């Protein structure tokens, strides 16, 4: 735990290329600098799931692996220190016999498969966040879970949504902040967590790490 004598930070490093996470940090006034992977880095292999892996275990493991990769990146680039934020989001359908993790669709056929699975059902969206407060300590991490209920989707509805291109690059083959919002009957939990960054939880982590932003409770 940090105390009032700890250094305060006017910004963080964001180790994610997600425009949604960038928008969410801007929403609460957190200044950040990008610490994205290099072109040669194999970021996709980090996100590969293990056989029979539970969604919560998966998203926590992947986020910690991303944090380790981001720390290595920071050291190699000889950057001044600031806390490093990593996150990962996955969609889980616990009742699905083929495996409960529904990741990003490989193609249109896979997007159709995922959307048919979610149609008319309630699924979970899990977002793990890891904030590395110092280069020599383990990151502080949490997993936030929300529930999303889809309306019953027709074949035409699914086809039009896939044709929009929005399902690609998104866990569960949809985005709540875009056209995908029209597929959703209800949510329970954190809207921002479903988008990819639970703002209440990370604000608590920022306060712990002495990150300054408009509503921070850091000690002056």
DSSP state of 153: P
Q: What is the pLDDT of residues 124-181, one digit of tens each?
A: 999 999 999 999 999 999 999 999 999 999 999 999 999 999 999 999 999 999 999 9
Q: Name residues of the chain where pLDDT drops below 50.
A: 1-5
pLDDT score for 6: 59
Residues 6+ apart with CB under 8 A from 31: 10, 11, 12, 213
pLDDT score for 181: 95
Domain chopping of the chain, boundaries: 12-208
Residues 6+ apart with CB under 8 A from 172: 90, 91, 102, 103, 114, 118, 123, 125
pLDDT score for 100: 82
pLDDT score for 60: 96
- Collapse the DSSP code of 123 into the 3-class scheme (helix H, G, I; strand E, B; otherwise coil) and give the result: strand
- Collapse the DSSP code of 175 into the 3-class scheme (helix H, G, I; strand E, B; otherwise coil) and give the result: coil
CA angle 126/128/133 to nearest 5° reads 165
pLDDT score for 94: 82
Mean pLDDT of all residues belonging to the chain: 91
Specify the CATH number for 12-208; select among 3.30.1300.10, 1.50.10.10, 3.90.950.10, 3.30.70.980.
3.90.950.10
Tokens encoding 75:
């050291």
Q: Whole-prediction pTM value?
A: 0.90
Could you give the residue numbers annotated as active site? 88
What values do phi and psi take at 80, rounded to 5? -65, 150
């Amino acid at each position: 735990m940090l105390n009032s004598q700890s250094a305060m930070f006017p910004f963080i490093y964001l180790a994610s290329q997600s425009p949604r996470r960038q928008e969410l940090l801007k929403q609460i006034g957190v200044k950040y600098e990008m610490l994205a992977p290099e072109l040669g880095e194999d970021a996709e292999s980090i996100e590969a799931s293990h056989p029979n892996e539970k969604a919560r275990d998966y998203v926590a493991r992947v986020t910690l692996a991303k944090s380790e990769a981001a720390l290595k990146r920071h050291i190699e680039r000889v950057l001044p220190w600031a806390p490093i934020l990593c996150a990962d989001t996955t969609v889980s359908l616990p009742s699905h016999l083929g495996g409960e993790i529904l990741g990003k669709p490989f193609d249109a056929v896979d997007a159709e498969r995922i959307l048919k699975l979610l149609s008319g059902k309630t699924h979970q969206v899990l977002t793990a966040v890891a904030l590395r407060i110092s280069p020599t300590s383990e990151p502080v991490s949490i997993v936030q879970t929300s529930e999303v209920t889809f309306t019953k989707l027709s074949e035409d509805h699914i086809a039009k949504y896939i044709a929009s291109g929005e399902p690609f690059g998104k866990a569960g083959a949809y985005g709540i902040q875009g056209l995908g919002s029209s597929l959703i009957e209800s949510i329970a939990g954190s809207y921002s967590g479903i988008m990819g960054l639970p703002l209440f939880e990370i604000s608590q982590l920022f306060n712990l790490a002495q990150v300054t932003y408009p509503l921070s409770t850091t000690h002056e």
